[in-house]
């Protein structure tokens, strides 16, 4: 089971139907091809403001073929997040996309 951790304060503000939409976006964005079981969990150690903005960087000194794929998945997820109707849902979705991106890049 792959756990994507975002702010508990942010995640708990999102209603269940929006949480399901966000999870679907993360699962379908291509972060974890081999991971069937992915869930998003609230973490009290992460502030609500953390990871709410998407910041894609490319380090040309590293092998980045895999990392570009992670960044592309993050961009696709962030674009899909705009379909979420509530403001807090969009913020939680982008935070989840960023957390998934970091997890994905760590595997490269």
Here the tokens at position 54 are 């998407």
Q: Which residues contact 17 (CB under 8 A, 6 or more apart)?
A: none
Q: What is the pLDDT of residue 100?
A: 92
Residue 31 has pLDDT above 90, yes or no: no
Q: What is the pLDDT of residues 60-103, one digit of tens each?
A: 445 557 888 888 899 999 999 988 878 899 999 999 999 999 98
Strand, helix or coil for residue 13: coil
- Please check whether residue 4 is in contact with residue 100, taking contact to mean a CB–CB distance below 8 angstroms: yes
Let me know if 73 is exposed, middle or buried by CB neighbors in 10 A (0-12, 13-18, 19+).
Answer: buried
Q: What is the pLDDT of residue 68?
A: 83
- Please check whether residue 97 is in contact with residue 25, taking contact to mean a CB–CB distance below 8 angstroms: yes
Please report which confidence band the pLDDT of residue 56 belongs to, taking 50, 70 and 90 as the band edges: very low
Q: What is the pLDDT of residue 61?
A: 47
- Please check whether residue 78 is in contact with residue 99, taking contact to mean a CB–CB distance below 8 angstroms: no
């Amino acid at each position: 089971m792959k756990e994507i951790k975002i702010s508990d304060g942010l995640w708990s503000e999102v209603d269940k139907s929006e949480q399901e939409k966000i999870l679907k976006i993360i699962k379908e964005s291509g972060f974890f091809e081999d991971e069937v079981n992915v869930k998003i969990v609230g973490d009290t150690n992460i502030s609500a403001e953390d990871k709410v903005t998407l910041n894609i960087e490319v380090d040309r000194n590293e092998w980045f073929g895999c990392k570009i794929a992670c960044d592309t998945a993050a961009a696709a997820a962030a674009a899909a997040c705009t379909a979420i109707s509530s403001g807090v849902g969009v913020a939680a979705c982008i935070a989840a996309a960023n957390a998934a991106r970091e997890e994905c890049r760590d595997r490269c």
